[in-house]
Chains A and B, each alone.
Chain A
Amino acid sequence: MFKKILYPTKFEEFALPILKNLTCLKAAGLEEVILMNVIETEALFIIRDSGFPIDFDRIRDKAQKEINRFAEYLETEGVAVKTKIVEGSLVSEILKAANEEDVSLIVAGRQKRDILGELFVGSTTDRIIRKSAVPVLVAKYHVLKETAGETTEQYCTNMFRKILYPTDWSSSAERAKQYIPTLHKVGASEIIVVHVLETDFDLGIKEKLANLEQEFQSQGFKVSVQLIKGKPYAEINKIATEEDVSLIVMGSHGKGFTEAIFWGSVSQRVVEYSEKPVLVVK
């Protein structure tokens, strides 16, 4: 399920820590990581507009040095590595590489914080999720941990420790469920199953939730179940923060009519506003 991962990076501050977190997926069958850097030719527009020739060799050399640093780490961890530096448009190059390399997971996540400390995921991530054929792990990190008056930022330590699984029993939520036993292998011990009701209470739901509880228990998880009423994305993010889960695993499409047309607005918003990493399964 996680045999081959595509890890596009711009070498941000947290890129290496996140990568370090991913190596524990070896226990779940991770064999190879494709490290990728896209030289965004569009972003260099301002230089072209100044009349100067762009020094692609210099840009590529710099990227190569950074990517080698990442590759060395993976090699010491015994994970096979392939590096790719390409020129073009970010999203389409990532999708192209995912397709060519036949990867099983794309790791994405551009983190930005505004003055209020809220996290935003760039529309780049959004577009990758929308168009990707494989699951996308949106890596985020905890923010604003106030310790002794100091503001520090921490990446998710042990990303797979405690899972939040929101479900509406749609087909993509069911596909997301299939990833959960694998996560148990890499250290996930707790799971919170949640269903958010937007309309009136439905008796059948409780039974379905009880079944899920049993199923996860039999897989060795410590399970808790929550049935709440409210706005799905807001409630999911609230629980994720309150319960301090380490990962949200969810399907990309909901069941509703609108969501069949516009890709799951719930998962989109969870990805956008959650401060926890999200594994979005198509």
Chain B
Amino acid sequence: MDTVYLIGMVLSGLFFGWTIGSHYTGAVMGTAFGAKLIKPRNATILIAIFVLLGATLESHNVVKTVGTGVIEAKYMTIFGAMIMMLTAALVTAANTWLKLPVSTSQLAIFSVVGAAIGMKAQVQWETTILALAITWVGTPIVGAILGFILTKVMDISALTKFDKAKKYLLLLVCCYAAYTLGCNNTGNAVGVFFGTGAIPSKMLAGFIGGIVMAIGALTWGRPLLEKVGLHIVSLDINSAVGAQLAQGITAHIAASLGYPTSMNQAMIGGIAGAGLSRGINAINMKTIKEIVVSWFLTPLIGAVVAFVLYSVLSPLLGVK
């Protein structure tokens, strides 16, 4: 039976990775596409390349946290890991209709937590989860501070005089954001592959995750990117660079520390900071409410679904 669970785990994880790849094209390349600097096809190709790079080179810390940081590796069974990834995949798929503010990273972590509670495995609340909680709350704040500073820097820098250079810079910054997407989010999909020992190398796990995310961006990323690019409030180039770079740096820091965070909430922070640097109060109460709702809602959904799935399926399938 373990082979079946292994296949279930891998397929669910890869599906989850694929949805991440397709879902975040707007978040990392939306500003460049909105400013008409790049065609959607080329944008998705760039995203695919940089996501794969980030996933292969710098996702190892997140892979480690998801795979062995929430619960110790000794508790990580193949069946449990299958439930975790199944939860992440199911919730993501269901959310296509439910449209709840759910963060991918928080979902991945709390799918692990929910299954762990079902397995009666010890969750590292005081170390890993606490650090993650601080990271999540800090993300939009750090994003806003960086967005503010970076936009100011852009405004006063000599670059202001060279429009073309600024456009290339924005494109570069978007590629960097795609890279950090690879660093930050890949571990969510493939962390348990490493945790169960199914894939012994963190880098290989990251590479595999990067591949499915790249495929996600290439196959299904375009319509989402177009929708985002055509319907967002267009930013001037300086704030676009400031906000997108703030998002990238914030996610990069979190990923380096091994704590996957929400790219979207980093972006919301970055845009608010960019707005503030212009004296515009871009902080929308509704958006803040949604972020806070997401902090509580995602862990709850992830944990409950994983716990219920584990508790129902394990006796049914005779898993101890």
Interface positions of B from 232 to 268, Cβ below 8 Å from A: 232-234, 247, 263-268
Report if A53-B233 is in contact (Cβ < 8 Å); known contacts: A48-B101, A48-B290: yes
Say yes or no: B284 contacts A50, CB within 8 Å.
no
Say yes or no: A55 contacts B232, CB within 8 Å.
yes
Q: Which secondary structure dominates where chain B touches chain A?
A: helix
**CB < 8 Å neighbour of A47 from B24, B227, B263, B282:** B227
> Which one of A38-46, A205-213, A246-254, A263-271 contacts B?
A38-46
Say yes or no: B271 contacts A52, CB within 8 Å.
yes
Interface positions of B from 156 to 208, Cβ below 8 Å from A: none
Report if A47-B26 is in contact (Cβ < 8 Å); known contacts: A52-B271, A53-B282: yes
A239 to chain B, nearest CB (A): 36
| A residues near B271, Cβ cutoff 8 Å | 51-53
Tally of chain B residues near chain A (CB < 8 A): 27
Does B27 lie at the interface of the complex (its beta carbon under 8 Å from any beta carbon of A)? yes
Does B145 lie at the interface of the complex (its beta carbon under 8 Å from any beta carbon of A)? no
Report if A53-B284 is in contact (Cβ < 8 Å); known contacts: A46-B26, A48-B101, A48-B290: yes
The CA of A59 and the CA of B99, in the complex, are separated in Å by 20
B65 to chain A, nearest CB (A): 23
| B residues near A49, Cβ cutoff 8 Å | 23, 27, 101, 264
Q: Closest A-chain residue to B268, C-beta based?
A: A51
A66 to chain B, nearest CB (A): 15
A108 to chain B, nearest CB (A): 21
Q: Could you list which residues of chain A lie within 8 angstroms of chain B, going by C-beta atoms?
A: 42, 44-55, 58-59
Not counting A49-B23, A52-B232, A52-B267, a sample of 11 additional A-B residue pairs whose C-beta atoms are within 8 angstroms of each other reads A49-B101, A50-B26, A50-B27, A50-B267, A52-B228, A53-B233, A53-B271, A53-B282, A53-B287, A54-B232, A55-B233
CB<8 Å pairs between A and B, sample of 25: A42-B99, A44-B231, A46-B23, A46-B26, A46-B227, A47-B227, A47-B231, A48-B290, A49-B23, A49-B264, A50-B26, A50-B228, A50-B267, A51-B264, A51-B267, A51-B271, A52-B26, A52-B30, A52-B232, A53-B271, A53-B282, A53-B287, A54-B233, A58-B231, A58-B233
